[in-house]
Structure 1
Amino acid sequence: MKMIVGLGNIGPQYDNTRHNTGFMVVDAFAQQHGIALTTRKMDARFGSGLVNGEKVLVVKPTTFMNESGRAVHPIMDYFKIDVADVMVVQDDMDLPLGRIRLRDHGSAGGHNGIKSIIAHVGTQNFGRLKVGIAHPQQHTVVDYVLGKFTTDQRPVFNQAADRAVAALDDWVAGSDFMQLMNQYN
């Protein structure tokens, strides 16, 4: 079983904000594959389905972003999911808006949601799908990441989200990770 985790903050005030990029991408993936995220337990909303013949668990932690590991680790344990079968979808200010980047391991890079997952899971060796939101030009970091995409930014983000969903499809299908990085990065 593969596990795809989207990072974000819960609550309507955070809907469609840059920091909820992970939620938006996994919502699009789940919708495309008819996976309803209706189960609510272990500090998360999740659902499962078959994608490309592989069972996939799609997870949205209901903790706040900085506590995401509190949900991810117990779900991995409960479903006996190996860390190699986990992909976390996150926003990334160090990538230009519209770019995506796959990584098979690495540090948190300043992302508190990833930092929490590393602390709870005990390793950095899980997949990341980073979606670029760019650096703020005229806002503080907090105001920027908790702000919504502008009307000019939204189509660029939507294209990136579509590419991210395609990358997730290929990952679930068992594509070689190096090939995925070469194709999508």
Structure 2
Amino acid sequence: MTTNASASEAGAGPWLVLGLGNPGPDYAGNRHNVGFMVADLLAARMGGKFKSHKSRAQVVEGRLGTPGVSSHRVVVAKPMSFMNVSGGPATALRDFYKLPVERLVVIHDELDIDYGVLRLKKGGGDNGHNGLKSITKSLGRDYFRVRFGVGRPPGRMQVADYVLKDFSSTERKELDYFTDRAADAVESLIVDGLERAQGTYNS
């Protein structure tokens, strides 16, 4: 599959969209949980509700895209393991749905991008992100990524402290807009292919 191939060019079977985060109410508003936030939006668009799955994830199945025109089967999942062992649920989901890693889209926070900015890519390094590190160790690098910028920590704040804090009150004013745009980017990646989605959202 080429990086600009759409789902229709990639053969049968669903796409797996994996939003990264940590489970539980204590983490719900953290910067590190923005993948969960976007996954929740996608589930709402699909008109489904998350259900527990034997892969140690919450899963919702449905379709994304324009009904009857460019609609594609999609499984949206949130690992219920902690971030640094996301590879386990990702592998179990891949095996259960029998899909190639090239049909996996991972949504995650990205420190080296300004807040709210998106970058779509395929492959590459993990940049110290423990969730990506775990997935790459389990599945290799050939999956798609929707990288949601959260910016660098201020001053001498440790990275771990920063990503495990909630978005600031200033950031929350635009958070709904940015997560909605990220959900749009996921849909575009699946329906239009990487190259076209990058042209629209890598700005």
- The bucket for the TM-score relative to the shorter chain is over 0.9
Superimposed CA distance per residue, residues 47-83 of structure 1 (whole angstroms, 9 cap, x where no aligned partner)? 1012222110001001100000000011101111111
Compute the displacement of 1:157 (Å): 2.7
Identical positions, percent: 34
Match of 1:103 among 99, 107, 121: 121
Alpha-carbon distance between aligned partners in 2 of 1:134 and 1:9, rounded to the nearest angstrom: 19
Corresponding position of 2:159: 141
TM-score norm. by structure 1 comes to 0.95
- Structure 2 counterparts to residues 1-80 of structure 1, below 5 A: 1-52=14-65, 53-80=71-98
Counterpart contact for 1:97–1:156, Cα < 8 Å: no
State the Cα distance separating 1:155 from its structure 2 match.
2.3
Q: Which one has a bigger Cα radius of gyration? A: 2
Is contact 1:43-1:71 (8 Å) kept? yes
TM-score (norm. length: structure 2): 0.87
Instruction: Pick from 142, 146, 151 the counterpart of residue 129 of structure 1.
Output: 146
Task: Check the 8 A contact 1:47/1:58 in 2, yes or no.
Answer: yes
* 1:160 aligned partner: 178
Give the alignment partner of residue 169 of structure 2, picking from 124, 131, 151: 151
Shift of 1:170: 1.3
> Structure 1, unaligned stretches of length 5 or more?
none
Aligned residue for 2:9? Answer: none
What amino acid sits opposite 2:184 in the alignment? A
Q: May I ask how many residue pairs the two structures share in their alignment?
A: 183
Query: What root-mean-square deviation, in Å, do the aligned CA atoms of Structure 1 and Structure 2 show?
Result: 1.1
Does residue 176 in structure 1 map to residue 193 in structure 2?
yes
Which blocks of at least 5 consecutive residues in structure 2 are unaligned?
Answer: 1-13, 66-70
Match of 1:152, SS state, is: helix
CA distance in 2, matches of 1:96, 1:141: 15
Summarize deviations over 1:70-124 as a string: whole Å, max 9, x none: 0001110111111111100000111100101101111111111001001111x10
Runs of 4+ in 1 over 6 A off after TM superposition: none
